[in-house]
Chain A
Amino acid sequence: MTLEGNFYESGNSYRRLAILNLDGIFFDLLVDDESIQSGVLSNLSFSDRIANIPRKIIFIDGSVFETQDNNKVDKIAFNSDKKNSFSMRLQIIESKWKWVLTSILFLALLGYLIIRVVLPWAGKELALIVPNKVNETISSGGLRLLDQEWFKPSELSDDKKNKISDSFSELVNTLPKSEFEYKLYFRKMGQANAFALPAGQIILTDELVRVAENPEQIRAIILHEIGHVHHRHSMQQIIRSSLISVAISMLTSDLSTLEDLVVVLPVFVLKSGFSQGDEIQADEYMFRHMFKLQMDPIHFVNILKIMTQNNLNIDDNILKYFSSHPSTKDRVKEAIRKSDKFLSES
C-alpha cells in the first residue's frame, strides 16, 4: 500500500513531499525517491481519526508523516495499533447518521423526562423538606416588597374587614390541622385579585371584595389561595426555577455569553407551564373543601366571571401561551361540572 503526503523531521517545520510504502509488516519512507526511514510497522503510531482532518503517522524519533488519505490509514492502523480501536469505534459512531439519530432521540427523551418528571418530582420532594422557617422568611420579605411596589393600604371599612376576617377564621377552623398559620390581609391594588404567600398569608384586594356579590364567592377565592399554600406551590416554583437555571448553565457552559441570551426564553416558557398545573391543583383543593362545607362550586364560576369582566375569552387571545393561569374557560367548565355534581348529590 502506498500513501502520499508530507514529511516533517522531529520538531522541524521544514516540509518535504514524501511517499510511505507499507506492506503489512514493514514500512519504507521515500523522499525524492530516496529511502529516509524504514522499519517494522509496530514502531509507528497513528493519530486518531476525526472526520477527515489530516492524519499523522508518528515515527519513533518524533518525525511525522502527514496524509489526507484517511481510509488507507484506517486499514493499516486497525491491524497494527490495538489502542486505536477505541477511537476507531468512536469515529464510526460519529460518521453514521443512525447513531447520530439515536443520540438526538436519547437527548430529546432525556430532556422531556427531566422537564416532565424529574423537575416536578424534585420540586415537590424538596419543597416538603424545606423548613417552614424558610417559608416565613420569604413571606415576610415578599409582603414587604409587594407593599412597596404594588400595594396601597386598604380603604375598606373596618366593619367589612371584620366580617370577612371572621368568616375567614371560621373557614380555616374547618380545615384539617396544618403547619401553616393562615392569616388574612387586605390591600388596595387597582385590580380585583388575590394572592397567597408561602407561609400562609392570604391577600385580598379591595377591588375583589367590592366586586364580590356574596361571602361565598370570597370564600371560594380564599380556598383557592389556601390550596396554593397547602401544596407549597411557591416553594416548588422557586426550587424548579433554580434547578432549571443550574441545569441550563451546566449544559450551556461551553456557549459564549452572546448565546446565553437564547437561554432566557425557554426558562420563561417552562416556568409558566408549571404554574398552569399549580392553578388546576389549587382549584381541585378548593372544590374538595367546598364539597365538605356544602358550598356550591358555582360561586367560583360567578366570581371568576366577574373578575374577568364577563369576558371569558379574555385568556383566549394570543397571550394564552405566556399566561401563568390556564384558560379561564377551561377552569369555568370544570367548575360548572363540579357544580352540577354538587347539585345532583345534595
Chain B
Amino acid sequence: MPDYKTVEVIFKGKGSEYFKIWIVNLFLSIITFGIYSAWAKVRTKRYLYGNTSIDGASFEYHASPIAILKGRLIAFALLVIYSVLSDLYPLFSILLIALLTIVIPWIVWRSLKFNARMTSLRNVHFSFKGLLKKSYLYYLIVPFILPLLISLLISFAYSVIFNGFAIERFYFYPVDIFSFEDKYFNELFILFAGSVSIYILIIPYIHKLKIFYYLNNSYFGQGKFSSDILASKFYLIDILTFLVILSVLLFPALILYGSAFYGSAFYNLLDRNDNIGIVVALLVSIIIYLVMLTTVFLSTAFFNAKVRNYVYSKTKLNGDIFINSNLHIWRLFWIYLSNFFLMIFTFGLAYPWTIIRKTTYMAETVSISNAAALSLFLSQQEQKQSALGEEIGEAFDVGSGIDF
C-alpha cells in the first residue's frame, strides 16, 4: 500500500479581491465596447484557478486574451447575421436553428478541448481527447434523432394498422402526415407526443452519457481519468429530485387546504378592500414566492449535490488517484438561497461574493486521496487550440450539459 495522503482542495479567493477585479473588468469592458471582455474573462478565470490549489500547487488558466477576442468577434458576427436574417426572413430562422443544432456537437467538442488544454496543474496540462463523432452521438443522435425516428416508426405502424396506410409507401410517410390533413391527426400526435416523451424518459441517460464522454476522455498529462458511472443512479437521482419538488410544494397546499376548513376568516381577510386586506394579500404572495424559491433552490441543491458526490466518487485518475466530494444538501441550499438574497439586496453588487462563497464550498468539499502520486505526470504534446468553438458556444448559449 503506497502512502495514501488525502488532501483537500483549497480555495483562497476573497470577496473583496474578486470584487475589485470584477468591477474594473466591467468598467473597462463597457468603455471599450466589449473588446476588453476577452481580457476580463482571462483575468477572472486566472484569479479563480490560481486561488484553487491541491497539495500546495495551484491551477493555472493559459488562454491568451487575443485568442478569446478572435473567437468572440467571429461568434459576435455570426450572432448578428443570425438575428438579422431571422428578423428579415422568419422562415429562414427555422433553417438557422436546424443548422445550429447540427453544429452544437462540434461547438461542445471544441470547447471541451480548448478548456482542458488551457488548464494546467503543476506545470502539466490537461487535455480532452474525445472523438467528434461521439460528440455527435451524444449531443445530436441519441437525444434528438433517435426519439424522432422511434416515434416516426410507431406512428407509421399505427397508420398501417388502423388507418390503412400502404406499407410500400413508407418513404412518403413523413411527407404525407405533414400535409396536415385531418385523417393524419393521430399520426402527427403520436409523432410529437412520442418524441417528447421518449426524450423526457432518456434525460437521465443522456446526462450520464455526456458526463461519461467528458470524464473518460479527459487526461492530466499522460494520466487518464476514468469514471464508471451508471445510468440507473442518474434515474434514481432524477426521481428523488422530483419527489423533493413535490414535497416542498405540498406544504403550502396543505396549509391552504387546512385554512379552507377553519372557517372563512382567512378568505375574508383577503377580500377586505383596506390596508389590512392588502397586507394579507402581500404576505400571501411573499409566502408563495418563498415557496417557489425554496422549491427551485432545494431541488437544485439536492440534484447538484447528489450528482457531484456520485460522479466524483466514481472517478479516478490514472487508476490510483481517487477523488471524493461530500457536498451537503442543506449547506448548498443555504448558499444558493443566501446568495440570491445577497444579489437582490445589493442590486447585484454582491455578485463576486456570491461566486467566492459558492466556489469556496465547492472546493473545500473535494478531497484527493493519494495526492503524492500527482508528481508523476508528464505533459502530452498537442496542437494549438483556437477559442472559436468555446466563444461560439458562449454567444449562442450552448451548454455542454456537464457542469458539476
Interface residues of chain A, those whose CB is within 8 Å of chain B, are 6, 8-15, 47-48, 50-54, 56, 63-64, 66, 90, 93-95, 97, 99-100, 102-104, 106-107, 110, 252-253, 255, 258-259, 261-262, 265-266, 317-319
A318, B278: Cβ atoms closer than 8 Å: yes
Known: A13-B376, A318-B279. A262 touches B124 (CB 8 A): no
- List the A residue with the shortest CB-CB distance to B293: A261
Further 10 A-B residue pairs, CB within 8 A, beyond A48-B43, A97-B20, A258-B296: A6-B57, A8-B123, A13-B124, A13-B375, A51-B20, A90-B43, A103-B27, A107-B30, A252-B348, A261-B340
Main secondary structure of the interface of B (DSSP, over half): helix
CB under 8 Å from chain A, chain B span 280-321: 282, 293, 296-297, 300
Chain B residues, Cβ within 8 Å of A265: 344
Interface residues of chain B, those whose CB is within 8 Å of chain A, are 14, 17-21, 23-24, 26-27, 30-31, 39, 43, 46-47, 49-51, 53, 56-58, 60, 121-125, 221, 275, 278-279, 282, 293, 296-297, 300, 336, 339-340, 343-344, 347-349, 351, 354, 374-379, 394, 397
Give Cα A14–Cα B123 distance, bound, in whole angstroms: 9
- Expressed in whole angstroms, the minimum distance between the Cβ of A43 and any Cβ of chain B is 18
Give Cα A99–Cα B57 distance, bound, in whole angstroms: 31
Chain A residues, Cβ within 8 Å of B51: 51, 53
- Expressed in whole angstroms, the minimum distance between the Cβ of A252 and any Cβ of chain B is 8
A48, B46: Cβ atoms closer than 8 Å: yes
Known: A11-B378, A262-B340. A53 touches B47 (CB 8 A): yes
Contact partner, A100, options B24, B49, B123, Cβ 8 Å: B24
A15, B23: Cβ atoms closer than 8 Å: no
A103, B26: Cβ atoms closer than 8 Å: yes
Chain A residues, Cβ within 8 Å of B14: 51
Known: A13-B375, A318-B278. A100 touches B19 (CB 8 A): yes
B19, A13: Cβ atoms closer than 8 Å: no
A50, B46: Cβ atoms closer than 8 Å: yes
Give Cα A110–Cα B31 distance, bound, in whole angstroms: 10
- Expressed in whole angstroms, the minimum distance between the Cβ of A54 and any Cβ of chain B is 5
Give Cα A94–Cα B25 distance, bound, in whole angstroms: 9
Chain B residues, Cβ within 8 Å of A66: 57-58
Chain B residues, Cβ within 8 Å of A50: 21, 43, 46-47, 50
Provide a sorted-by-A list of 25 A–B residue pairs whose CB atoms are within 8 angstroms.
A8-B123, A8-B124, A11-B124, A11-B379, A12-B124, A13-B377, A50-B47, A51-B17, A53-B46, A53-B47, A53-B49, A53-B50, A53-B51, A54-B58, A56-B60, A66-B58, A93-B24, A94-B21, A102-B27, A107-B23, A255-B351, A258-B300, A259-B339, A262-B340, A317-B275
